Amino acid sequence: MRLPYNVLPILRARSTSMRMFNRVLVLTGAGVSAESGIPTFRGKDGYWRNLDPAKLATPEAFAHDPKLVWEWYRERRQRIRNAQPNPAHKAIAKLAQHAHEFLLVTQNVDDLHARAGSPKEKMVQIHGDIFVTRCSRCDFVDTARGGSSEPPATSTIYPNTGRLGSIAPTSAQRDQEQEDPPKCPRCSALMRPGVVWFGERLPWDELRRVENYLEDGPCDFVIVAGTTATFGYIIDWALRAMASDGELVEVNPEETPLSQFATQRMRESAAVALPRIVDELVISRSSKL
């Protein structure tokens, strides 16, 4: 088995096959899930009813027409339920099993990484979770998964207080899916999808998890896959993680703002490139044991 673009010769030249698994950071974007049939916002299939999704995923759009926004998100949820993890998701889950320290930071709000086997404690969904529903006013959060294939949470949570709600997840979510649009059982305000919309801040708790990982030390191996890297924090995290002597592998068919910093650029889809990269790394590591 051989990797394109001479990735493995560089790793072997440095004699870092073992070290490569000390600390690993993986950053993924919409291109990874697109190969499971999930449209990207910027792709040709991203438009919904001739509407620009970038204009639907905003607080302003929700305030103007919450019913329309909820219709879109319910269709997105259903599309994700029908989708299956692809080889890229599975390769990343395999890498997580073999790395000594590992963190996956994904911009994707779907559950495909989790369904592929990536551990929740080693994954950060920096743009939120589409199957979580939260109040647009108070801190009520329903984590019943919205019909996702992932197991539901055991309770409803008030994150700022740490208190647990008394609503059973299955019945609560079923009622919310039927109500149009759903309302908060605590304060009667409109409920909204638990995702980060354009113009909103990233969730502090998730940001802290990323920062804590980066502060623990540089990474030996960084993979950035399926993202256009248009958000500055993606480039910042990748560069901070690789530090002075780490490997930064970009997996994307197109050039991105990150490309100039990558030590290796794989101009293939993530579903094609990642399984080969991970398999070679695992084989190389095993041969050193």
Tell me which of 64, 98, 100, 127 is the catalytic residue: 127
Residue 5 reports pLDDT greater than 70? no
Helices 204-215, 232-242: inter-axial angle, 10-degree rounding? 20
Q: Does residue 100 carry a catalytic annotation?
A: no
Q: What is the pLDDT of residue 46?
A: 56
User: Rounded to an integer, what is the distance from CA 122 to the centroid of its chain?
Assistant: 11
Assign residue 37 a region (left: φ > 0; alpha: ψ between -120 and 50; beta: otherwise).
Answer: left
Global confidence as pTM: 0.83
Single out the residue of 141, 140, 139, 136 nearest to residue 153, CA to CA: 141
Which one has a higher pLDDT value, 192 or 285?
A: 192
Across the range 59-67, mean pLDDT stands at 96
Of the listed ranges 89-93, 108-112, 122-126, 276-280, the least confidently predicted one is 276-280
Across the range 130-139, mean pLDDT stands at 96
Residue 199 reports pLDDT greater than 90? yes
Which one has a higher pLDDT value, 27 or 54?
A: 27
Which helix or strand (DSSP H or E) is residue 115 part of? helix 112-116
- Cα(108)–Cα(127) distance, integer angstroms: 7
